[in-house]
Amino acid sequence: MSGCGNVFLAGVGGQGILLASEVLGEAFLSSGYDVKKSEVHGMAQRGGAVTTHLRFGPKVYSPLIEPGAADLLIAFEKLEALRFLHYLKPDGVAVVNAQEIPPAPVSSGRERYPDGIEERLREVTSQVHVVDALGAALALHEVRAVNMVMTGAASHFLPLTEEAYVEALKVRLPARFVDVNVRAFRAGRALIASPHPGPLPGPGERWVKGRGTRCHTRL
């Protein structure tokens, strides 16, 4: 059982995961949550697998999510969903971009891109939502907006209002980029028709029960 909401973002360096996590973080903060997130920069970013741990609640201690404790896995690339699947709770939600970006061992022909990723995700949770974020971004003529499409799709499962995301985009982006990113967010949200299982509980529900303002994980 977790007292905090745990969102694990995974993808490939260059996909804009950092910005997506900053927007999520700002949106949680402005909505009255404590927030911590953690990522790595530098060598790890050069086209390599990139992750961000984001945790929210009344009081967050660890900036890192434990394996098996993520409520929501947002995978910007399909193979990365599989790589970090062990971070997801058994009943967690996975929002997965259908896009395949072959890693070096695959693009060089030494290994093959794994088949049946969606099925393997479903072995862990029934809540798998595969979306065509690249297609939605290209429809907006902005390939760099894949990150906001994914954020929009994942927003079904987070206890935040659309206004919180839009305000966060205004904090984090130059004014001229806000509009296309808001449209990408909405396009992403429209990719998942019936929000099920719905958002994680907001403050006042699960978070404040039990241990008052403390936020910790028991496995």
Binding site for another protein (CB under 8 A): 12-13, 22, 25-26, 29, 34-49, 60-64, 66-68, 79-80, 82-86, 102-109, 111-114, 120, 124, 143, 211, 214, 216-217, 219
* Least distance from another protein to the Cβ atom of residue 156, Å: 23
Q: Which is nearer to another protein, 46 or 176 (CB)?
A: 46
Per the CB < 8 A criterion, the answer to whether 40 and 27 are in contact is: no
Q: Which is nearer to another protein, 195 or 213 (CB)?
A: 213
* Least distance from another protein to the Cβ atom of residue 26, Å: 6
Q: Which is nearer to another protein, 68 or 197 (CB)?
A: 68
Cis peptide bond prior to 199, omega within 30° of 0:
no
Residue (of 205, 118, 215, 126) closest to 159 by Cα position: 205
Name the DSSP class of 2.
B
Query: How many other CB atoms are there within 10 angstroms of residue 49's CB atom?
Result: 16
- Provide, for the chain, the percentages of residues in helix, strand and coil under a 3-state DSSP scheme, each rounded to the nearest 5: 40, 20, 40
Per the CB < 8 A criterion, the answer to whether 52 and 21 are in contact is: yes
- Which two tokens mark 197? 């299982």
* Least distance from another protein to the Cβ atom of residue 209, Å: 15
* Least distance from another protein to the Cβ atom of residue 135, Å: 13
* Least distance from another protein to the Cβ atom of residue 6, Å: 11
Q: Which is nearer to another protein, 105 or 195 (CB)?
A: 105
